[in-house]
Chain A
Amino acid sequence: MVQAERQAGASWLNKACRLLLVALIGISPLAPGDEPAAAPGEATLDILTWGGAYERAQRRALFEPFTRETGIEVRVHRYNGGLTELRQAIDAGRMPWDLIDMSRSEAKTACADNLLEALSSDILSPSPQGRPAERDFIDGALNRCSITHSVFATVVAYRRDAFPGQRPTEISDLFDQKNFPGPRALHRGPAVNLEWALLSYGVPEEEIYRLLSTRRGLSLAFKRLDNLDNLHWWEAGDTPVQLLAEKKVVMASGFNGRFFDAMVNRDLPIEILWDGQVQEHEVWTVPRGAEQPQQAREFIGFATSAERQTAFAELIPYGPSRRSATLQVANHPDTGVDMRLHIPTHPLNAEHALTKDDEWYARSHERINDYFEDALLEEDSASQSP
């Protein structure tokens, strides 16, 4: 089994080399997102994270308080997920980041491929009530190379004005362009799309990954996606909000936090369809070869305290990974919105929630991705980028 994993790793590296050429052209837009360099000599922590409202909330709830408390500056770098850049940096022998905010599924792959430092739960503080961290964190939050800081969901949002009569209530409505006409936007990748496609056939949540593991299940899912007319594929997390705002699509998949931001802070007339939400863990990791692994661990301890998690969840509706923090979440400090109702893990929203099977994605991501591209992206590669 171990050998199999190593072999898998080797083939992944080959793949990474192949992708490198593509990536050289692909990633360059990252550079403009980088912060201006901090003054030389000062201690700075380089954190790779996602952009947009998410980053704004992190700055306010985590980065700025951290700098105030420790004097360590935080320099933010943005990315759209994926391990390509991390592999590249490790191959190049120079690690530009000290911390990476990534999804747990990618962290599992990266951990198996030895791209990450091991993390111990000793760096975590107990709950305000004194409960040890191991029992305060939700199940599956503490892993060998990663620590879950929040749970987010991929959901479908729709423009209220596009459906003046009957509104979408089920995830299968995403694929029902007869009753709910209009263009759609989905993430350019297999994850979540395949789950929703199979859910729309009435497959129960607990069987989704078992069925997606068969050729038949995959082809059923691809058939659903392929039948969508006027479909936009998005890549950056802010694009679906933009597409909805510009009325280019009437339904789009996206991260629940971003949709919330658009709804509450930008007054977009959109609504979240919680049915079929796919929950994922968002984790902190320390890349192998990070220049300041000690400060990085210090930051993780600070940022995952119940107080900081609560502050973060009050700015952007990501479910805290600490049970104690979830109970403390109250209203948004600026708008006064009751944030508990917008957290994916709230019982009202989580009735038909699916938890993304990280293990499955970590071990089959490459193959699923290939199938996905073969089935859906090749024919319409001309019209893919909006």
Chain B
Amino acid sequence: MAADKDQPTSTTTGQDIPYSSPASDAHSPNGARGMLRFLGLVLLGAVIGGLAALAAVGFVSAVIWLNDLLLISPRGRMMFAHPEALALATVAVPALGGLVVGQLHRVIRERRPHTPADLIAAVQTRRGRLPPRAGLLSALSGLVSLGSGASVGQYGPLVHMGASLGSLAARLLRMGRSDDNVTIACGVAAAIATAFHAPLAGIVFAHEVVLRHYALRAFAPVAAAAIVGHVIATNVLSQGALFHVTDTAVPRPWEFAAFIVIGGLGALVAGGYMHAILAVGRWAAKLPVVPSLRPAIAGAALGLVALWVPDILGMGQETLRFATIQGAFSSLDLVIVLVLKLAATAMCIGMGFGGGVFSPALVIGTLFGALCGTLVTQLGMAGETFIFYAVCGMVAVTAPVIGAPLTTLLIVFELTGSYVLTTAALASVTLASPIAAQLFGRSLFDIQLARRGLDLSAGRGRALLQNARLKSLVSQECVILNPNDSVQEAVTRVGEGGHGEAYLVDDRQRYRGSVTLADLEVMRGKGQGHRRVRSCQRTPRPVLSPEASVWDAMHHVQDVTGEAIAVVDDKAGDAFLGVVYESSIARAYLKYSEELRREEHGTG
């Protein structure tokens, strides 16, 4: 961009060049057609936003209906007259729900529900193309899990559902991978905008968590989707927002210090929460139980504990609300419910229920904040500002878990309309996000992806190259010599092939090293032309496995001075598969960089 601008000015010699000329030059490749295409993308974003919002509304309504019907929601439970049957249902419903979920997961290829982590991976590696079948099954799994009272969140399934719809639209319209990424982001933004009644949070979430870069090209369609989602939500979804705060107390200056400390401690709670989920997952894998039955066990255990502490059932919206009311919980209650909710969520998700991690994080965070608020009040220091502590705890735990400090702040702002409260939340998140990122990772999604082999910690460029396989770059155009050939013969063949090096492959197709034309010439010059090639000095060269990524290849190029690197399958007894030329590695690198550059900095 800077170079573009510099050029015309440097060539100016007294002649006035209109200011707009560099800009119009830059846009000339697109022109009017490009703009129409861009507007089409924005329109498509709005359509996807509408579809994702309607899907979200349907999902949320279905969960509420199921919860009332299956005696999970407090309202349904209160309206049911028989305590014994109610107790039975409390255990049986989550257990049966787990059974259904387990069966659903058996028909997904990965044997697990797809989550936001999967769509982040698809976008970050520019794979796109979320599988619609797995998307549908995952949404169904989320619906059954939430409907039967599992302690999981609804925003994960909603986000994934929106993303799948977006990706499906891109596929049906035969659009490219960059556009696929944008439509995925549109679905995500609309789902968040609808579920939280928070369009700004939806837009920022799509950028902060999914796209991880800011491009005008993506912003406009994503914003359109979020607006449509918001409009639909305010007109159709009568269910109230996540939380309302009417209090307008103003915290005293020193309390901001307390909010920052809560942020730091909240990061540790968030870390505990994420690692509990991962630990239960590892532990469950060792259980001598068929994977499809594990959710049922978790459901039954959840139900048994819920007989004692019903707060842990379901998403916990009531618990969240109570945690913002001073005096609703004693300190001991807060600790008990916090620990049990954390354990219940880790168990449900770790043992294979479908659903998100966001809503439980909201509940756990708010309970944690309420605990801090209660302690400060007991010290006689806080008065009217209890709600601030609850909200600070909420953002301190939630932001690290989903890796989205800005989104969490915007959710607070859009749901409360309170600037003071948002400022307090900002104080809390200031410390929470960096501490959690240093200690645990950018988000639970990133940790999960890293464990699946996709490291996003060094950014998208590296992830993309690490995920790009070498296979397409492998070439057979090289000189292959048998170790038993004579040097004389080898020199002729290498020379005729126009190459500077050759690869030794024996009768059993095993790779035996490489030789350079220079070394062969030296031997011939010494009068050793009749000797076998295998006695020639081998250049020590690294080899690449067929599974290696472009990123690995780039690393080897630094140490290699030759023209190509051999690709050898060490799993198949060092079978020689071909070579990868350094120039093609460089070309691939440039191609991927250029694609990223266009996606992240292009406007149309």
Contacts and interface: CB of A to CB of B under 8 A. Distances in A.
Contact of A202 (B239, B247, B318): B247
Contacts of A210: 73-75, 317-318
Interface in A214-252: 214-217, 220, 223
Nearest to A9: B81
Nearest to A362: B79
Contact of A204 (B81, B240, B328): B240
A178 interface: no
B78 A211 contact: no
A220 B327 contact: yes
A366 B83 CA distance: 14
A214 B327 contact: no
A214 B244 contact: no
B78 A360 contact: yes
B322 A216 contact: yes
B341 interface: no
B461 interface: no
A8 B310 CA distance: 23
Contacts of B239: 206
Given A202-B247, A210-B73, A216-B328, A4 B80 contact: yes
B79 A363 contact: yes
A364 B82 CA distance: 11
Interface string B54-89: 000000000000000000011101111110010000
A12 to B, nearest CB: 9
Given A202-B247, A204-B240, A220-B327, A211 B321 contact: yes
Query: Number of contact residues on A: which range applies?
Result: 20 to 34
A359 interface: yes
A363 B71 CA distance: 13
B374 to A, nearest CB: 15
Contact of A367 (B75, B81, B244, B321): B81
Contact of A217 (B73, B81, B82, B318): B318
**Dominant SS at the A interface?**
helix
A163 interface: no
Nearest to B337: A216
A220 B81 contact: no
Nearest to A5: B81
A213 B240 contact: no
Nearest to B76: A213
A379 interface: no
B472 interface: no
Contact of B321 (A203, A360, A364, A368): A203
B246 interface: yes
Nearest to A220: B328
B328 A4 contact: no
Given A204-B244, A210-B73, A364 B79 contact: yes
Contacts of B79: 213, 359-360, 363-364
Contacts, number: 76
B341 to A, nearest CB: 14
A204 B240 CA distance: 9
A11 B245 CA distance: 41
B233 to A, nearest CB: 14
A215 B247 CA distance: 24
Interface string A184-213: 000000000000000001111011011111
A163 to B, nearest CB: 23
Identify which of B73, B239, B322, B329 gathers the most chain A CB atoms within 10 Å of its CB: B322
Interface string A337-380: 00000000000000000000001100110111000000000000
Nearest to B77: A213
B337 to A, nearest CB: 10
B366 to A, nearest CB: 14
A366 B82 CA distance: 12
A340 B73 CA distance: 39
B246 A202 contact: yes
Identify which of B80, B311, B321, B329 gathers the most chain A CB atoms within 10 Å of its CB: B321
Contact of A214 (B245, B246, B318): B318
A13 to B, nearest CB: 13
Given A4-B80, A4-B81, A213 B322 contact: no
A383 interface: no
Contacts of B279: none
Identify which of B310, B311, B327, B328 gathers the most chain A CB atoms within 10 Å of its CB: B328
Contacts of A4: 80-82, 85
A164 B246 CA distance: 27
B75 A213 contact: yes
Nearest to B247: A202
B85 to A, nearest CB: 8
A7 interface: yes
Interface string B320-349: 011001011100000000000000000000
Interface in A302-349: none
B81 A11 contact: yes
Nearest to A214: B74
Contacts of B310: 214-215
Identify which of A7, A201, A216, A363 gathers the most chain B CB atoms within 10 Å of its CB: A216
A381 B79 CA distance: 28
Nearest to A368: B78
B322 A7 contact: no
A241 to B, nearest CB: 31
Interface in B282-310: 310
A211 B311 CA distance: 11
A203 B243 CA distance: 9
A321 B310 CA distance: 40
Nearest to A205: B240
B75 A209 contact: yes
A232 B133 CA distance: 63
A213 B81 contact: no
Contacts of B245: 202
Contacts of B80: 4, 363
Identify which of A204, A359, A368 gathers the most chain B CB atoms within 10 Å of its CB: A204
Nearest to B329: A216
B325 A203 contact: yes
B70 to A, nearest CB: 12
Interface string B547-573: 000000000000000000000000000
Contact of A211 (B81, B244, B318, B327): B318
Given A11-B81, A359-B79, A367-B78, A211 B240 contact: no
Given A4-B82, A204-B244, A363-B79, A211 B322 contact: yes
Given A213-B77, A215-B310, A216-B329, 17 more contacts: A4-B80, A4-B81, A7-B81, A8-B81, A202-B246, A204-B240, A204-B246, A206-B239, A211-B321, A216-B322, A217-B74, A217-B322, A223-B327, A359-B79, A363-B78, A363-B80, A367-B78
Interface of A: 4, 7-8, 11, 201-204, 206-207, 209-217, 220, 223, 359-360, 363-364, 366-368
Closest 5 CB pairs of A and B: A213-B74, A213-B78, A363-B79, A206-B240, A204-B244
14 contacts: A7-B81, A201-B325, A202-B245, A203-B325, A207-B318, A210-B74, A210-B317, A211-B322, A213-B75, A213-B79, A213-B318, A214-B318, A363-B79, A366-B81
